[in-house]
Structure 1
């Protein structure tokens, strides 16, 4: 799958991923700064991954862990600081929330500060920092 919007694209093709970019960003994040390079690489290998690109440059990322039957976990979401505030993160989450392969599955994620973004796409805050997106069937 590849989506074009303006000068940007979103793809779930792992061959486009720039692992060095992902490693650098996650090393500076509050949630993954203790992960080893090996763990990050293995997590990418075993997940559905979405990259966001400005031309050939990767500027965003998100990873989905799923059993393909009941649930998915949305994690490791980022947009490069230089590209924030342009709706790129919204487009990334919209793409993931609308993905055919995830329909009918319960989505979960953890965030300290982006609840408003995820609520726009059906996720609801739990008693802690975790959020859950229930399938339409259960709403």
Structure 2
């Protein structure tokens, strides 16, 4: 039996634990708590939690218009729990969400390409552009 469960919805997320998870990332390690709260409020959120203690050990969110496009972002698993399928479980849950699974999906990553390929994502080549936040 698995030692963790996946929960969905912003109300299920533990804000301070999400902040601690994001501090382990290369993309959001300086994000302040107010920004994290706002991002959770306006996203579809997914969390991995230890069954025994309800400690949050993984997080992912999806930004979408529910009509044409969704963007997967902030996928993170606590360093102590990596390599046991938690990231895959988060993506399985996102991929099975009927609200977004038929839409075009995008994401940006410096790593985990093999994981995302399993869900149909491909490198975008030179068609994608980005603008950094201020």
TM (normalized to structure 2)?
0.86
Any runs of at least 4 consecutive aligned residues in structure 1 with deviations exceeding 3 A, and if so which? none
1:47 aligns with 2:43: yes
Cα distance in 1 between the residues matched to 2:5 and 2:16 = 19
Partner of 2:26: 30
The answer to which structure has the higher strand fraction is 1
Unaligned residue ranges in structure 1 (runs of 5+) = 131-139
Unaligned residue ranges in structure 2 (runs of 5+) = 129-134
Between 1:48-57 and 1:10-19, the stretch displaced more is 10-19
Superposed displacement of residue 103, structure 1: 2.3
Superposed displacement of residue 88, structure 1: 1.3
Superposed displacement of residue 113, structure 1: 0.9
Cα distance in 2 between the residues matched to 1:25 and 1:111 = 17
CA contact (8 A) 2:8 2:46 kept: yes
Deviation string for 1:4-39 (max 9, x for gaps)? Answer: x62221111322211111112213321112322211
Cα distance in 2 between the residues matched to 1:126 and 1:26 = 25
1:64 aligns with 2:62: yes
